[in-house]
Amino acid sequence: MDYALQTQALYKSFDGCKAVDGLDLTVPAGSIFGLIGPNGAGKSTLIQMLIGIIRPDKGEAYILGRSIREKDGGIRNQVGYVPDVPVMYPSFSVAEMYRLGSKLYPYWDWQRCRDLHHSFDLPAAGHIRSLSRGQKVQVALVMALALRPRLLLLDEPTAGLDPVVRRAFLHTIVEEAASRGTTIFYSTHNLNDLEQSADHIAAIHRGKLLFSRSLDELKESMHRVQVVFTGEPPVEAIASLPGLFNWQSSGKVVIITINGELDSIYARLTVLGAEMIKVMDFDLESMFVELMKAVGYGFGM
């Protein structure tokens, strides 16, 4: 498989505290890859190492097949970056920021810049300091995409944005991946955003990788089912079911969260005396909470 991004035993600490701790991660080329985790998990530190803002202590990382340690930073001309709080010259106009971008990046595409600028209905003459946070994020996205990136790194860019701006932002990055084959790697706390746009997902906590899976695989393997038994639920047998994450009972009705193939789950529950089995809605946020509990992390998002 062709990878747009790889890390191998990557470490970074600050004042003796590990921010990224032996991270091994692969991001398929052309994917929309979501990175999740609580505050302080190491998401921003990882992205800042990839973009070259900070250097790793140990380990290696590759973007588009090139080591991030290489002194020749030419590969980063093909990497777009949008942080949660874009850093731009407050006294510049939007047009001046675009002109600066065109001088800094050799692959700058003015037509792409104009098209995105108009689609977001951004002002060209106003100063950066007069823009709302949402508009600044959109300007940063316009600049990141106008350089025609092969890889786009997004560090919680939609946090705090209103629903209309967030929807427009997500639509743009999905279109970018679909039409241009750009790899999108973004961290977020908004699991609804991931469910609508990502095809791969990884979670980190305290700098360590907890899991990395395709979204389809995750949805096909995890289930929440409501089971009605003919008599009293067989508590011990339920608790020993393979792949069980969690279960709760109320009389003859049991709600089970479990990993595995549905046909196999149905067969086991039928043997245990299930009279009715109903698959329940199970969104990504609920899946994430169960996965975190399973690995011993009881935090919320």
CATH classification at residue 236: 3.30.70
Tokens (6 digits) for 140: 């940063």
pLDDT at 301: 41
- What's this model's pTM, rounded to 2 decimal places? 0.86
- State whether 133 and 269 are in the same domain: no
129 and 234 co-located in one domain: no
Q: Same domain, yes or no, for 43 and 108?
A: yes
pLDDT on residue 109: 96
Looking at the structure, tell me whether residues 87 and 136 fall in a common domain. Answer: yes
- The one-digit pLDDT tens for each residue of the chain (301 residues) are 699 999 999 999 999 899 999 999 999 999 999 999 888 889 999 999 999 899 999 999 999 999 998 876 678 889 999 998 888 999 999 999 999 999 999 999 999 999 999 999 999 888 999 999 889 999 999 999 999 999 999 998 887 788 888 888 889 999 999 999 999 999 988 888 888 889 999 999 889 998 899 999 888 889 999 999 988 999 999 999 999 999 999 999 999 999 999 999 999 999 999 999 999 999 888 888 887 777 666 544 4
- Domain of residue 42, residue span: 3-206
What's the burial of 241, exposed, middle or buried (CB within 10 Å: 0-12/13-18/19+)? middle
Residues 243 and 261: their CA atoms lie apart, in Å, by 10
DSSP string across 127-149: BGGGS-HHHHHHHHHHHHHHT--
Query: Do 90 and 59 belong together in one domain?
Result: yes
